[in-house]
Each structure stands twice: as C-alpha cells, then as structure tokens.
Amino acid sequence: MASGHLRHLVAGNWKMNGLKASTDVLDAVIKGHDAVLAARADLMVCPPATLLAAFAARAGGSTVAVGAQDCHAAAAGAFTGDIAAEMIADAGGKAVIVGHSERRTLHGESDADVRAKAEAAWRAGLFPIVCVGETRAERDAGHALAIVARQIAGSLPDSLPGDLVVAYEPVWAIGTGLTPTVADVAEMHGAIRRQLVERYGGAGQAVRLLYGGSVKPSNAAELMAIADVNGALVGGASLVADDFLAIAKACGTS
Ligand SMILES: O=C[C@H](O)COP(=O)(O)O
C-alpha cells in the first residue's frame, strides 16, 4: 500500500512568527531550492496572513510555493478577524493548512469545522493540508489509530474535489523535541493510506501524507524514508532557512 512514487512535499508552518524583515528567510529558501533540491522535494512556506501576499509575490516565478495557516469556511461575510480561502487565493497562496491541533485545541475546531474549511479550500482553487493526530493520553491508552481514523473520517468529504494533503501530527510531538518511533509512524501512515484508498479508491493513493512534529535536520532522513511518508509539515525548524533546506535535502536520500 506504500506510495513511494509520490514527490515529497516539505511545508513550513511559521505559526504566529514572522515580520516583514523575515523576507530574508524566504529569499534564502528560494535560493536554496536549486534544481538538484527541486528534483527531490516540493517546498512550501506558510507565513502568517500578514505576510501572505508579500511572500507570494516574492516567491512568484520560483519553485517555492506559499500557503496559509487557516481559513474560514465562508467565502465572505461578517466574520471579524477571519480570512476566506478566496482571499488566500487572491493573495497568491496555493494551499491552506486546516485542522492544525492548535486550531482544534485553542479555537475549539471540530472535525466538521475542518471538513468545511477543506471544502472552502477546494472551492477557492487551493488544496488543503488537513491535520490529524492524537494526544499523549490517547496514545498511551492505545487509542491513537482509532482517534486518527475518526478525525480522517470526519474531516474529509465523501469524495475528493481536488488535490489533498494530509498531515499526521501527534500533538505530543509538536514543539517538544519528541518524535514517535519509526514503527509507530509507519503503522499510522499505513493505516491512513488504507483508509483513504478504501474511501477514495485510486485518488487515495495520490494523497501525500506528511509527518509533522519536531522534524529537524537530525531526524529528517529517518522519518522521510518511512513508507507512506511523503513529506513533512515543519514548525520551528522552518523558521531557519538552513534547517528547512536541510530537511528537504533529506528527502529521497535513502
Ligand atoms: O505544523 C507544524 C507542527 O505543529 C510541528 O511543529 P514543530 O516542528 O515545531 O514541532
């Protein structure tokens, strides 16, 4: 069931970090994504919304794509502080992260909310990066596979209207320096792949499955070599161009 033919995607989630001066990090990422590296992995930077249009303009014509971190499900309306998927597309974004655990936990987003946001992304011509993952307590209780299967079932529609990326991010691995074992990542990604293929047939084979949670240059080669790991969703390490590029360079080397 492995989908080793899929190109790796390494996406940087800057979270609530970055000012105009951070453009130099983007410039270094663009410069570093040379032909050799571009043949190995796709790169995407997801800055905060304030930088989205400037980053998309700066990255225009390069091989680095720009995405957003969240969107509202509606195309427009009285939703103070929110941004629509159409606005992300208008700003030059190509994708949007939805259902990150920080949104699910800190903003109370349900699987139904995440599904509505994913559908908004497709409506606007973007592709969603749908995040799922269990807490430490859920893993310790032996429920990790069931929790993630339930999140996948509830966060995705019955048929896929466009490209989809799924990111498996164990909540306990985010920003902690902890990572699951290779065997645990392989088991989870294999289970997600089977679920997607059962639900979507051949289209499920084309979904890139990213691993996220404390991905660093030092562990990237091991994580990116796991069957059905088709890239990484990188938080902290994506703020440092050399680290982000080193993670991308680790793709396809083993
Ligand atoms: O979206 C990215 C993840 O939350 C991972 O963050 P991290 O690489 O800082 O652990």
Tokens, residue 81: 């502080």
Residue 106 C-alpha to ligand 1 middle, in angstroms?
Answer: 15
Q: Which residues are annotated as a binding site for substrate?
A: 13-15, 175, 214, 235-236
Q: pLDDT tens digits for 117-174? A: 999 999 999 999 999 999 999 999 999 999 999 999 999 999 999 999 999 999 999 9
Give the residue numbers annotated as catalytic, written as ranges. 100, 169
Separation CA 100–CA 119 (nearest Å): 16
Q: Is the CB of 174 under 6 A from ligand 1?
A: yes
CA nearest to 210, candidates 242, 173, 239: 173
0.95 surpassed by pTM:
yes
Residue 67 Cβ < 6 Å to ligand 1: no
For domain 8-249, the CATH superfamily is: Aldolase class I (3.20.20.70)
CA of 171 to the centre of ligand 1 (A): 9
**pLDDT (tens place) for every residue of the chain, 254 residues total:** 445 479 999 999 999 999 999 999 999 999 999 888 888 899 999 999 999 999 999 999 999 999 999 999 999 999 999 999 999 999 999 999 999 999 999 999 999 999 999 999 999 999 999 999 999 999 999 999 999 999 999 999 999 999 999 999 999 999 999 999 999 999 999 999 999 999 999 999 999 999 999 999 999 999 999 999 999 999 999 999 999 999 999 997 54
End-to-end CA distance of the chain: 19
| Every domain of the chain and the residues it spans | 8-249
